[in-house]
Amino acid sequence: MFEPVIGLEIHLQLKTKTKMFCSCPAHADPSTSSGLSGAAPNTNVCPICLGQPGTLPVPNAEAIRAGIRMGLALGCKVNVSSKFDRKNYFYPDLPKGYQISQYDLPIVSGGMLAVEVIGKGAVRPIARIGITRAHLEEDAAKNLHGEEGKTFVDFNRAGVPLLEMVTEPDFASPLEAKVFLHELRLIARTLGVSDADMEKGQMRCDANISLRKRREDGSVEGLMFNPKTEIKNLNSFRHVERALAFEIDRQTRMWEQDTPPAVSTTRGWNDAKGITEEQRIKESEGDYRFFPEPDIPPLDLTMIAEECARSLPELPAAKRARFVTEYCLKKDDARQLVDDPALAAFAENVFSELHAWLDALPANEGASEELQAQEKSRIGRLVSTWILTKLLGLMSERSIDIRTCKVDAENFAELIVLVATSKLNAARALEVLAIMLESGADPSHVMEDRKLGAMEDTEALADAIDRIMVQHVAEVARYKAGETQLLGFLIGQVVRATEGAADAKTVKNLLSVKLG
Ligand code: ADP
Ligand code: ZN
Ligand code: MG
């Protein structure tokens, strides 16, 4: 059996104000973080990023901090004595004829990121991916291919800070690579170091893949690591997954025909054709003639590393775990909430409003711990359902984003309280929520305005119940004869008769009494 061996190299464009070694803006409009698209070509340039002779690069402290933070989040060790090196090659998008990068002393190395692998094609529940290293470097310019075979160069991107992260060949399936990249994007967004949007080129991925033979007894036959294919410049999650799947098929056929890849090669992904295409025989490291950048003194990162370690925010994995233990959420609900940092923050605020309310509840004062835990878990489920299905459902129908949503956490928590205390049934609460989305009003005002409260007039409710019992004498008789499951049917009839105004729980109590 052949098993895939996959390692990723990821370039992350850092969201700094200025470029890696000069003071040019790193983004066309810092307020939109839309990358460099939007600025007219060759407007964000200066003698330094154009590689003019006699200019001196000055490392960007914000980029260094971003790289260290990302490294710490990936469990890496910070190399406090780090340095920059020149990587030499000739290409029109590289004005100096070399790229300032890091060779043997990257800012961080030796980390690990564990990701949960759910979905079709999962070969193990958790993938632990070693992080070899991450280093800082400058982006190249962008070649624009115009008419008549002409190529233009836009230097706006030249010198934008990049963090290149290299993983160990630890992925066992294309799905694992995709899940890992999703988590990496979420971490970058959580830290605020990059928007990591692959479609915008803010995160770019080279995927390395080879196969090896595994025997029935679990041992590897032949080499652990065989010559690999490096698929360059994948710019969407889908492309990564598809390209890797294609390569697995292609290499499997080569192995089956007893002609496995003899040398490592570089290929490109052609998405239209759905195939990888040979690009060139890979150059070896020697071809780059790396040497220390003489214009930048070695770095001492001791102070910066300590400061970054102290101020690292809670990471997605920890937040997911905490949402489960602290708020009694289901694992999958916690994952969905944490996937969007703004949504996670909203949920967090809703819970803190609710816990103040829960604690203040007189009924809770003398309640046993078990009862309190039960109530907490009920509220937790209520909140996640109401956010993930109802609120997000209404929002997507209206193309509203959580960042622009008018419903604040306080009002949303109040709505949850109304539902939890049966002052509002689910159908009515959804109507109230829709109105809250339009106006941002608080739910009790909406209820008063629209007379949407639950039917608290017990006399009217008792009448409604009596009517239903008369209309459904047969069912009532059968219930009394022991078909207790008919209670649900009768409750439904009453709720319908009151057009949803009656609260099911109250109806149940009253009906049970009336039915004896
Ligand atoms: P090179 O520089 O020769 O391309 P590296 O050893 O620097 O190779 O590794 C580059 C990336 O390729 C890393 O992410 C690494 O995990 C991965 N990789 C290395 N060897 C293999 C292999 N045999 N199969 C799949 N991936 C590999
Ligand atoms: Zn510049
Ligand atoms: Mg290498």
Do 275 and 354 belong to one domain?
no
> Hey, which of 228, 265, 267 would you mutate to test ligand 1's pocket, going by the most ligand atoms within 8 Å of its Cβ?
228
For residue 232, which ligand has an atom nearest its CA? 1
Residue 200: helix, strand or coil by DSSP? helix
- Give the integer Cα–Cα distance in Å for 249 and 255: 10
For residue 282, the SS3 value is coil
Q: Are residues 399 and 428 in the same domain?
A: yes
* 91-116 mean pLDDT: 96
Same domain, 348 and 419: yes
Counting from 1 in the atom list of ligand 1, the atom nearest the Cα of 170 is 16
| pLDDT at 68 exceeding the cut of 60 | yes
pLDDT in tens, 477-495: 999 999 988 998 998 888 8
- Find the mean pLDDT for residues 140-154: 92
> For residue 96, what pLDDT is reported?
96
Distance 133 CA to ligand 2 centre (A): 27
DSSP string for 31-91? TTT-TTTTSPTT-S--TTTTT-TT------HHHHHHHHHHHHHTTPEE-SEE--EEEE---
Residue 30 above 50 pLDDT?
A: no
Neighbouring residues of 352: CB distance < 8 A, sequence distance ≥ 6: 409
The last residue of a domain, from among 399, 414, 449: 449
266 near 243, Cβ under 8 Å? Answer: no
- Which atom number of ligand 1 is nearest to the Cα of residue 209? 25
Mean of per-residue pLDDT scores for the chain: 91
**The pLDDT of residue 314:** 97
Strand 77-78 to strand 265-270: parallel, antiparallel, or no bridges (unpaired)? unpaired
Indicate whether 150 and 218 sit together in one domain.
yes
Of the three residues 425, 449, 473, the one that is the final residue of a domain is: 449
The answer to whether 464 touches 503, Cβ cutoff 8 Å, is no
Which one of 426, 449, 472 terminates a domain? 449
pLDDT, position 29: 53
Q: Same domain, yes or no, for 506 and 373?
A: no
Residues 482 and 394 in one domain: no
pLDDT bucket at 32, cuts 50 / 70 / 90: very low
Residue 165 beta carbon below 6 angstroms from any ligand 1 atom:
no
Summarised one tens digit per residue, pLDDT across range 5-26 is 999 999 999 999 999 999 999 9
Count of domains in the chain? Answer: 3
> What are the tens digits of pLDDT across the range 396-413?
999 999 988 999 999 999
- 396 Cα: distance to centroid of ligand 1 (angstroms): 42
Percent of the chain scored above 70 by pLDDT?
Answer: 93
Most distant CA pair in the chain: distance in Å? 99
Mutate to test the pocket of ligand 1, among 208, 226, 232 (most ligand atoms within 8 A of CB): 208
Would you say 186 and 342 are in contact if contact means Cβ atoms under 8 Å apart?
no
Q: Are residues 93 and 226 in the same domain?
A: yes
Query: How much distance in Å is there from the Cα of 284 to the middle of ligand 3?
Result: 8
Which pLDDT score is estimated for 510?
85
Helix (H) or strand (E) run with residue 346 in it: helix 341-360
Helix pair 443-450, 426-439: axis angle to 10 deg: 110
Does the pLDDT value for residue 501 go beyond 80? no
pLDDT value at residue 146? 87
136 CA to centre of ligand 3 in angstroms: 15
Ligand nearest to the CA of 103: 3
Percent composition of the chain: helix, strand, coil (DSSP 3-state, to 5): 45, 20, 35
Q: Range of 367's domain?
A: 316-449
pLDDT above 50 for 34: no
What distance in Å separates the CA atoms of residue 324 and residue 328, rounded to the nearest whole number? 5
Say if residue 274 is in the same domain as residue 410. no
Q: Find all residues with CB under 8 Å of 268, minimum gap 6, and list them.
A: 231, 232, 233, 276, 277, 279
Per-residue pLDDT, averaged over 261-281, amounts to: 92
The owner of tokens 């800070």 is: 161
Paired tokens of 481? 């004869």
Are 52 and 285 in contact by the 8 Å Cβ rule? The answer is: no
Distances (CA, A) of 72 to 111, 140, 315, 340, 383: 8, 26, 10, 21, 32
b/e sequence 276-285, b meaning 16+ C-beta within 10 Å = beeeeeeeee
pLDDT score, position 199 = 94
Say yes or no: 79 and 33 in one domain.
yes
The larger pLDDT score, comparing residue 250 to residue 285, is at: 250
Percent of the chain with pLDDT over 90: 73
Is residue 170 within 8 Å of 130, Cβ to Cβ? yes
Q: Is the pLDDT of residue 460 over 80?
A: no
Residues 302 and 361 in one domain: no
* pLDDT, average across residues 467-474: 90
pLDDT reading at 336 higher than 90:
yes
Same domain, 106 and 247: yes
Q: Does residue 371 register a pLDDT over 80?
A: no
To which H or E segment does residue 454 belong?
Answer: none
What value does the mean pLDDT take over residues 193-205? 96
> For the ranges 285-289, 335-339, 458-462, which has the lowest average pLDDT?
458-462
pLDDT number for residue 453: 63
State mean pLDDT over 286-313. Answer: 95
Q: Which of 163-177, 301-315, 427-441 has the lowest mean pLDDT?
A: 427-441
H-state helical runs in 421-497? 426-439, 443-450, 458-471, 473-480, 486-497
Strand partners, 25: 18
Predicted confidence at residue 120, as pLDDT, reads 86
Q: Is the pLDDT of residue 174 over 90?
A: yes
Segment 193-220 shows an average pLDDT of 96
- Separation CA 78–CA 69 (nearest Å): 9
φ and ψ at residue 7, rounded to 5 degrees: -135, 145
pTM score, two decimals? 0.86
When pLDDT is cut at 50, 70 and 90, the band that residue 101 belongs to is very high
> Tokens representing 30?
């810092």
Cβ contacts of 326 within 8 Å, gap of 6 or more: 351
Q: How close is the Cα of 232 to the center of ligand 3, in Å? A: 13
Distance 166 CA to ligand 1 centre (A): 9
Query: Is the Cβ–Cβ distance between 432 and 424 less than 8 Å?
Result: yes
Q: Are residues 506 and 419 in the same domain?
A: no
Q: Does residue 266 have its Cβ closer than 6 Å to ligand 1?
A: no
